[in-house]
Amino acid sequence: MSDDEIDLKALSDDDLVGQMHDDLYDGLKDEIAEAVMILLDRGWEPYKVLTVALVEGMRIVGIDFRDGILFVPEVLQSANAMKGGMTILRPLLAETGAPRVGKMVIGTVKGDIHDIGKNLVTMMMEGAGFEVIDIGINNPVENYLAAIEEHQPDILGMSALLTTTMPYMKVVVEAMKEKGIRDDYVVMVGGAPLNEEFAMAVGADAYCADAAVTVDMAQEIMKRRHNQRGADPRPA
Amino acid sequence: MSGGEGAVMAPTTQIDLSIDDDAEFKAELKSDGAARALVIACGALAREIVDFRAMNDFIHLDITCLPAKLHNRPQLIPQAVGDKIRANKGKYHSIYVAYGDCGTGGTLDKVLEEEGVDRIGGPHCYAFYTGQSAFEAITDDDPTSFFLTDYMVRHFDRLIIEGLGLDRFPELRDDYFGNYTNVIYIAQTRDADLEAKAEAAAERLGLGYIYRHVGFGELEAFLETAAASSDKG
């Protein structure tokens, strides 16, 4: 270790978490993985590491992306650093029965192979306690319907980057209507060329401007759903 | 400032094809002040439009371009185009917009509808260079192609490598291009140097390479319509 490198093990919990936020911001994957292991060794629950250190760090990244301070390459570096931490935490979260806020099926629409935004949403939703089934790119309506039937999610997420492919979202929503299942699911849509008006025009429930907004909206929607069902929405 | 490769320009024409700053590309004929039509174009089309105008002697057609880098934030394009239209409305008989939808999700068309101005058809320059139906045939059959135009080949390092941060973070290659299989260079001109650069670009991205000379495509007819409008005006 060089003189200017920080000894993560020597930091207090609070300082280490602050350092992790900085390291996520700077996209330092190895440092994030090391810090996750340190917190776990200190007895932190995996879910606490995820939410307090990683998700909060990515929330800061998301704000600066929205404000034009960070750009896509930097956000991708941050996301890859978070993935390094998630790789360690995911099996532990499964073992320890971390709270599940809800379930989402997500995919990029037919004719579109862009998935950067979708992948960011997937990661942030997982971090927020959602189970996410990612059906990938270039999905015809049949893929969405099959995934809905198989996984019975709370939320269907659709992504598109192209003006030419985004109208396909309406095809999926119409197919759900035809099958009489549209109102059984929350439909959230996002992608660079979309806007609120378009989302409403295709019959979606929500337009998601970015990954952080998606998480906030999904959490709010799930709370409402739980309240409507008379259940306590808060994670245990 | 530069005259642009191969462009035959009137002495008073100002050109800035740089993408290094926000300077607008501008071509104005001041010799007789007879230009009655204006084309507001994306800076990524600037050189091609200037060349085409010169080749066809469309001396009564003025051209003004917005910075190509607006494509990095397409949500800014409608406002920028709208401002440019309003700044020029009293000066010209007709105004035309040489932009595709360009990722604005229909909001550019709303601005144009409000202003009563037409644009070239299609979602983006790849489509109107190639021809709408031909482009759809390519992408419907296989959506995994990454398209390059002459402009993009010329500025590949700046737009793609530096623009996407691949110079700093080469490991992001898969994030950006992992789902692509081929680069298709839809060439406006026949230029061996550009072709070699395009092939090298494909190799650098780890993708296959396909060359198609498509010329100016539907941009030709669009500019001819604008020029004819100016002559009639």
- pLDDT tens for B70-113 read 887 888 999 999 999 999 998 899 999 999 999 999 999 999 99
pLDDT tier, B21 (very low <50, low <70, confident <90, very high otherwise): very low
Strand partners, B92: none
Q: What does the pLDDT read at residue B114?
A: 97
Mark yes or no for CB contact A163/B104 under 8 Å. Answer: yes
User: Rounded to whole angstroms, how far apart are CA atoms A14 and B121?
Assistant: 56
Alpha helix positions (H), chain B: 46-56, 77-88, 107-115, 125-130, 132-141, 150-154, 156, 173-177, 192-205, 218-232
| Beta strands, E only, A109-219 | 130-134, 155-159, 186-190, 206-208
- Residues of chain B with pLDDT > 90, as a percent, come to 64
User: Is the pLDDT score of B60 beyond 50?
Assistant: yes
pLDDT tier, B164 (very low <50, low <70, confident <90, very high otherwise): very high
Q: What does the pLDDT read at residue A162?
A: 92
Q: What does the pLDDT read at residue B33?
A: 58
Whether B101 contacts chain A with CB within 8 A: yes
Whether B36 contacts chain A with CB within 8 A: no
According to CATH, what is the number of the domain A102-228?
3.40.50.280
Token output for A63: 């704000």
Structure letter (DSSP) for residue A8: G
**Chain A residues close to B106, C-beta within 8 Å:** 163, 198
Whether B76 contacts chain A with CB within 8 A: no
pLDDT tier, B211 (very low <50, low <70, confident <90, very high otherwise): very high
pLDDT digit string, tens, across residues A13-49: 999 999 999 999 999 999 999 999 999 999 999 999 9
Which is more confident, A52 or B50?
A52
User: Rounded to whole angstroms, how far apart are CA atoms B118 and B185?
Assistant: 28
Q: What does the pLDDT read at residue B27?
A: 44
**What are the residues whose beta carbons fall under 8 Å from the beta carbon of A225, sequence distance 6 or more?**
A102, A154, A186, A233
Sign of CA dihedral A63, A65, A66, A69: positive
The alpha carbons of chain B give a radius of gyration, in whole angstroms, of 18
- The distance of B151 to chain A (nearest Cα, Å) reads 20
Total Cβ atoms within 10 A of residue A218: 26
Compute CA distances B73 → A165, A207, B69, B198, whole Å: 19, 19, 8, 25
User: Is the pLDDT score of B186 beyond 90?
Assistant: yes
User: Rounded to whole angstroms, how far apart are CA atoms B174 and A172?
Assistant: 28
Whether B180 contacts chain A with CB within 8 A: yes
Which is more confident, B63 or A199?
A199
Are A49 and A41 a contacting pair, CB within 8 Å?
no
Mark yes or no for CB contact A193/B175 under 8 Å. Answer: no
Name the average pLDDT for chain A: 92
Whether B137 contacts chain A with CB within 8 A: no
**What are the residues whose beta carbons fall under 8 Å from the beta carbon of B222, sequence distance 6 or more?**
B96, B98, B120, B128
User: Is the pLDDT score of A144 beyond 50?
Assistant: yes
pLDDT tier, A95 (very low <50, low <70, confident <90, very high otherwise): confident
Nearest CB to A73; choose among B103, B124, B172: B172
Structure letter (DSSP) for residue B25: P
User: Is the pLDDT score of B187 beyond 60?
Assistant: yes
User: Rounded to whole angstroms, how far apart are CA atoms B62 and B28?
Assistant: 5
Interface predicted TM-score (ipTM) of this complex, two decimals:
0.86
**What are the residues whose beta carbons fall under 8 Å from the beta carbon of A82, sequence distance 6 or more?**
A24, A32, A54, A57, A58, A123, A127
Name the average pLDDT for chain B: 85
Domain boundaries defined on chain A: 8-96, 102-228
Q: What does the pLDDT read at residue B19?
A: 40
pLDDT tier, A230 (very low <50, low <70, confident <90, very high otherwise): low
Complete domains list, chain B, with CATH: 26-122+217-232 (3.40.50), 132-213 (no CATH)
Q: Exposure of B133 by Cβ count < 10 A (0-12 exposed, 13-18 middle, 19+ buried)?
A: exposed
pLDDT tier, A231 (very low <50, low <70, confident <90, very high otherwise): low
3-state SS of B152-164 is HHHCHHHHHHHCC
Compute CA distances A132 → A107, A120, B4, B17, whole Å: 10, 12, 51, 46
User: Is the pLDDT score of A235 beyond 60?
Assistant: no
Lowest mean pLDDT among A115-124, B9-18, B182-191: B9-18
User: Is the pLDDT score of A203 beyond 80?
Assistant: yes
User: Is the pLDDT score of A155 beyond 50?
Assistant: yes
User: Is the pLDDT score of B178 beyond 70?
Assistant: yes
**Chain B residues close to A138, C-beta within 8 Å:** 143
Q: What does the pLDDT read at residue B233?
A: 53
- For testing contact with chain A, the best of B175, B177, B182 (most A CBs within 10 A): B175
- The distance of B185 to chain A (nearest Cα, Å) reads 19
Mark yes or no for CB contact A164/B139 under 8 Å. Answer: yes
Token output for B45: 């089309």
Q: What does the pLDDT read at residue B34?
A: 66
Q: What does the pLDDT read at residue B68?
A: 87
**What are the residues whose beta carbons fall under 8 Å from the beta carbon of A154, sequence distance 6 or more?**
A102, A103, A104, A185, A186, A221, A222, A225
Whether B79 contacts chain A with CB within 8 A: no
Q: What does the pLDDT read at residue A100?
A: 83
Q: What does the pLDDT read at residue B71?
A: 84
Q: What does the pLDDT read at residue B32?
A: 53
Total Cβ atoms within 10 A of residue B201: 21
- Which of A152-156, B43-47, B139-143 holds the top average pLDDT? A152-156
Which is more confident, A45 or B31?
A45
pLDDT tier, B232 (very low <50, low <70, confident <90, very high otherwise): low
Q: What does the pLDDT read at residue B15?
A: 40
Strand partners, B119: B97
- For testing contact with chain A, the best of B179, B182, B207 (most A CBs within 10 A): B179
CATH architecture of A8-96: Orthogonal Bundle (1.10)
Average pLDDT of A94-119?
92
Mark yes or no for CB contact A192/B179 under 8 Å. Answer: no
Mark yes or no for CB contact A193/B105 under 8 Å. Answer: yes
Q: What does the pLDDT read at residue B175?
A: 95
- Which of A121-135, A178-192, B23-37 holds the top average pLDDT? A178-192
